[in-house]
A and B are shown apart, each in its own frame.
Chain A
Amino acid sequence: MPLLSVKNLSHTYPNGYQALHDVSFEVEAGEFLVIIGLSGSGKSTLLRCLNRLVEPTEGTILVNGQDVTHVSDASLRSHRSGIGMIFQHFNLIPRHTVLSNVLYGALGTTSTMSSITGRFTDQQRQRALSALEVVGIRDKVENRADALSGGQQQRVAIARALMQQPQLLLADEPVASLDPATSHSVMDYLERINKDLGTTVICNLHFLSLVRRYATRVIALKGGHLVFNGKPEDISDEWFRTIYGEEAMEVDIR
């Protein structure tokens, strides 16, 4: 049974714009799946449908064979808490410490009272520290999150996601606001989490060079349609032009 199976997924925004058209694919546990496509092709929408930050208009989403398309309240929160997510702009809580930010990854499994009064358990603190260890910034625990560099902030965000002990990690253009060297370092952490912890990763990416380097499989969106599903090495020049348009030219970042 696949970890994730998306069937005939469509999404129409309240303003009537249809961002996803009948998208179907499956993801096996342990894959590093990369979603590519021009900006506006629906990558972020697709990712957000998976953890229901955006409500699918049609279609079904199965996680471990369980239909999560319409779960609500406690079941929705438990669905979300099993899926980590990181973002292009990191989305940390400014002014709060790195440790606090990582602890917030445990909100889904902590009661409202204990979390609001700041009573996280020692075990949760330990988990937060080891998550920071994984991304190599344990020494920054007491720093303010917004005082860190972009790359460091993204690593804190990864630690926050790890705090959820997720079976699936969603990454929405995680390196789009980072410089090339930092990009590779952040991608390396994702790869390590994928390989060492066995966490399945679904990642939106812009640069094909990164795709070839990290993806175990690629799907491509064009105008909300799924137009490619295969190995990264199978993206021929012709596919490339189909996905990115005739005018496109491949650029490399190293």
Chain B
Amino acid sequence: MKTSLAFLLDALLGLCVSSMLLQIIIPELTGLSIAPVIIIPTTILWLAIALLRKASIGLLFVSSKNERPLPNNVRAHMGWIAFCTSIVAGWIVTDISPVEFFSSEGLQGAGRIFGALLTPEFDVLPAALDAMVVTIFTALMATIVAVPLSFLLSFPAARNVMTGGAIERTIYVLLRAVLNIMRSMEPIIWAIIFSVWVGIGPFAGMLALVVHTVASLTKQYSEQIEDVDQGPLEAISATGANRLQVLWFAVVPQCVIPFLSFTIYRWDINVRMATIIGFVGGGGIGTLLTQYQGLAKYNEVGTLVILITLVVWTLDVASARVREALR
């Protein structure tokens, strides 16, 4: 089972390396185009070397710490080949071009935009401040709505709470899985979804942030719950308290301060995310910024960038201070 998974990984890696080499690097360097079927034999060759020389790289990923395969020269070479191929292919695909970066035309463009950013047009300031307020409150409301939800969800998402048998175990595993999926979807994706659902604007942005915040906070909260000192739990259980009372009187008091700290940090992160979400229709300063950028009004953009930087920096410092004081 494990070894077949390992060889599947090797086959995938071989496929990637062959594709990069045959479809990106060689055509770019020589101008030749190569039929995609050629990838199949090269992948098989890669897998054969891995198998015959006991140089499986996949095995490194599926084996546990104490059964790691021995160091192996062939594997090291194959690893380097994969690494270097990726860098070369990456260079080609992302159009990295030092020539453009340093060309006089390019430098002129850079000068124009930096110049504009550095001579901000302060006429937009009232509108910008309004939009900033919207962004900050979007983040605040998202955090506030997410906190009670996260609090309630964090208990069934904590392993040391869900100890009552198979059903609880299943709920725990499912909840964790759903939260992980929710968390791995970027808020910007949620913002796109919600801007179609409820229309473009701060409400869509808030909903997007709520989803992401619930997923993140629940994870942090539940990890804190898993980390509490078991002593008070035993003591409260020993008084004959029921489960809810044990959670409320032995677990919660150990968690409030860390929960507060996570929450404040989350709000800080949410202000930044609310800005980004604005780019795709989440309202607030982000939306304003895309509008001016679309009109190529870089002096106004400059004002917005300065404002965003100031607010993010202030919040960053303030939230760090508060969290420090909470310790």
Contacts and interface: CB of A to CB of B under 8 A. Distances in A.
Interface of A: 48, 51, 53, 77-85, 87, 89-96, 104-109, 112, 115-116, 157, 160, 163-164, 170
Contacts of B254: 93-94
Query: Interface residue tally of chain B, by bracket?
Result: 10 to 19
Interface in B232-264: 232, 234-242, 244-245, 248-250, 253-254
A160 B232 CA distance: 12
A112 B243 CA distance: 10
B98 interface: no
Contacts of B249: 93, 104, 107, 115
B231 interface: yes
Residue among B245, B250, B254 facing the most chain A CB atoms (10 A cut-off): B245
A191 to B, nearest CB: 21
A51 B238 CA distance: 7
A47 to B, nearest CB: 10
B125 to A, nearest CB: 45
B236 A107 contact: yes
Contacts of B244: 112, 116
Nearest to A105: B239
Decide if the interface of chain B is mainly helix, strand, loop or mixed: helix
A77 B238 CA distance: 8
Interface in B206-234: 231-232, 234
Contact of A53 (B237, B242, B248): B237
A115 B236 CA distance: 13
B35 to A, nearest CB: 58
Given A80-B239, A104-B236, A105-B239, A91 B245 contact: no
Contacts of B242: 77, 107, 112
A76 B234 CA distance: 14
A164 B239 contact: yes
A94 B240 contact: no
A78 B237 CA distance: 11
Nearest to B244: A112
B239 to A, nearest CB: 5
8 contacts: A77-B242, A80-B237, A81-B239, A85-B234, A93-B232, A93-B254, A104-B236, A164-B239
Contacts of B253: 93-96
A106 B253 CA distance: 18
A20 B224 CA distance: 33
Contacts of B232: 91-94
B237 A93 contact: no
A105 B232 CA distance: 12
